Structure 1
Amino acid sequence: MAIIEPQRRNIDSPAAVKKYSKPVRLWHWLNLIVICGSLLTVALNSTIFDVKSNTTYVQTQLQQSGATVTAQQAKNVAHGMEDKIWDLHIYFGYALAALFLFRLIAEFFQPKGQHFFSRLKTAYQDYIKKSKKSNSALHDLTVKSLYFIFYALLAIMVLTGLSMAFDQELGISKATSHSIKSFHGFCMYLILAFIAVHIVGVFLAERKQNKGIVSDMINGG
């Protein structure tokens, strides 16, 4: 069986294959699991555990069983089921915060040449050096810029999520907490957009000049 070799190479050093360190690879896959789990809880509460639809369902089921239940009582039950899912969402949020902290700490121990900001700076310098006419330099800068935006969004999600989880301890008012929640939800859609772009980009890279990029993230290249 032929072995697919990673083909992603540095612009100025074509012979050097880019590799990911073990901490970054571990963070990448754990982060994937946590984000998917978090998004799943949002999807569940927006569909199966939606309070409005479940209120009618709970009231109807209990009345058919011979119980006398008011709409408010049924709504309270529906809210209780929704809160269970939100509790799980909060736990995923704690895990996301822990992973983000892990990624920040891991950055200080990255091998030489693998620090994110140094690679972003190098990509920018390569783009400028090549008089902005190199497609490979533009592609490298674009990819790293998107990752910078993703890291910024993760930081926002972590900070807004923790502020909502500890709003009483931090003295945050309900009105402010509601605004934070709206911004938190908006950033979630931006992360979804990044994930979609990321998956499409990896798929296209695997089919073109960067074969082995997924394998590189699994075994380091």
Structure 2
Amino acid sequence: MKKEAQVKYPASIRFWHWGNTLVISGSLVTVLINSTLFDGRSTRDFVQKELAHAGANVSQEQARAVVHGLEDKVWDIHIYFGYVLTALFLYRLIVEIRADKNQKVFRKFLDTLKIYLSNQAFKSTARYELGIKLLYLVFYTLLLIMAITGLSIAFDDNLGISRSLSHSLKEVHGFCMYPILGFIVLHVGGVYFAERKNKKGIVSDMINGGKMNN
């Protein structure tokens, strides 16, 4: 713990950041595959045509069953990504609980809000920092909703969740993907412009930890 305090980004935060990046990317890829490759009549016709070329004449219903089977396989991978995402979120909560009081996410947000409300000289800078921290709070909230709804959908039978409620949870789960994508775009864009201006080394710091400013 002493060694972690000497860097900007402790190993625990770096592990969560890059692990979360990989899992969210993989999860989005599965959604993209099922919404493009396995969606629509063209895929069913393609499967039917290819099987016919291989000497297997199948009906449209049989071809549809093949497509649905492949789609289910991809969703199984999506579910596994969801389990890992939930585990990473719980890991992040543990890291947050064990963090120093001044390093906690919500405490940083409150401190920045206090600076924004009290210091007129640095109003624009404080507004920028406050916006960033608010975005992170929204992002964490979205991850929590994704984890809860995802697990509820995966274990709806075990939890006794009705079909109508499960359908509503799927809609919420799917909707959360869009603001998360928006956050990712803003995050990557913000890092890019910051690297080009006055905060060089953000990416490398998130890899090797970075040195604390004295």
CA distance in 2, matches of 1:120, 1:70: 59
CA distance in 1, matches of 2:202, 2:37: 37
Q: Does 1:198 align with 2:187?
A: yes
- List alignment gaps of at least 5 residues for structure 2: 1-5
Residue 19 (structure 1) shift? 1.4
CA distance in 2, matches of 1:189, 1:88: 20
Structure 2 match to 1:121 = 110
CA distance in 2, matches of 1:72, 1:215: 52
**AA at the equivalent of 2:138:** I
Residue 174 (structure 1) shift? 1.5
| Contact preservation (8 Å) 2:116, 2:130 | yes
Alignment RMSD: 1.7
Residue 108 (structure 1) shift? 1.5
1:40 corresponds, among 29, 40, 44, to 29
Query: What are the superposed Cα offsets for residues 150-179 of structure 1, whole Å, 9 maximum, x if unpaired?
Result: 000000111111010001011111222111
CA distance in 1, matches of 2:100, 2:200: 23
Which segment is superposed worse, 123-132 or 178-187? Answer: 123-132
CA distance in 2, matches of 1:65, 1:108: 59
**AA at the equivalent of 2:21:** L
Q: Secondary structure at the match of 1:95?
A: helix
Q: Tell me the matched-pair count.
A: 205
Q: Secondary structure at the match of 2:102?
A: coil
If the length of structure 2 is used for normalisation, what is the TM-score? Answer: 0.90
2:161 corresponds, among 172, 175, 192, to 172
Alignment of 1:147-166 (within 5 A): 147-166=136-155
Query: What are the superposed Cα offsets for residues 76-112 of structure 1, whole Å, 9 maximum, x if unpaired?
Result: 1110001000000000000000000000001112235
Q: Does 1:79 align with 2:68?
A: yes
- List alignment gaps of at least 5 residues for structure 1: 1-16
1:209 corresponds, among 186, 198, 204, to 198
1:93 corresponds, among 82, 102, 111, to 82
CA distance in 1, matches of 2:121, 2:42: 55
CA distance in 2, matches of 1:33, 1:132: 40
| Contact preservation (8 Å) 1:51, 1:82 | no
Residue 62 (structure 1) shift? 2.1
Q: Does 1:23 align with 2:18?
A: no
Residue 134 (structure 1) shift? 1.5
| Contact preservation (8 Å) 1:167, 1:177 | yes
| Contact preservation (8 Å) 1:132, 1:138 | no
Q: Does 1:56 align with 2:45?
A: yes
| Contact preservation (8 Å) 1:51, 1:75 | no
Which of structures 1 and 2 has the larger relative contact order (alpha carbons within 8 angstroms, sep 6+)?
A: 1
If the length of structure 1 is used for normalisation, what is the TM-score? Answer: 0.88
Query: What are the superposed Cα offsets for residues 171-200 of structure 1, whole Å, 9 maximum, x if unpaired?
Result: 111222111111111110110000000001
CA distance in 2, matches of 1:161, 1:197: 24
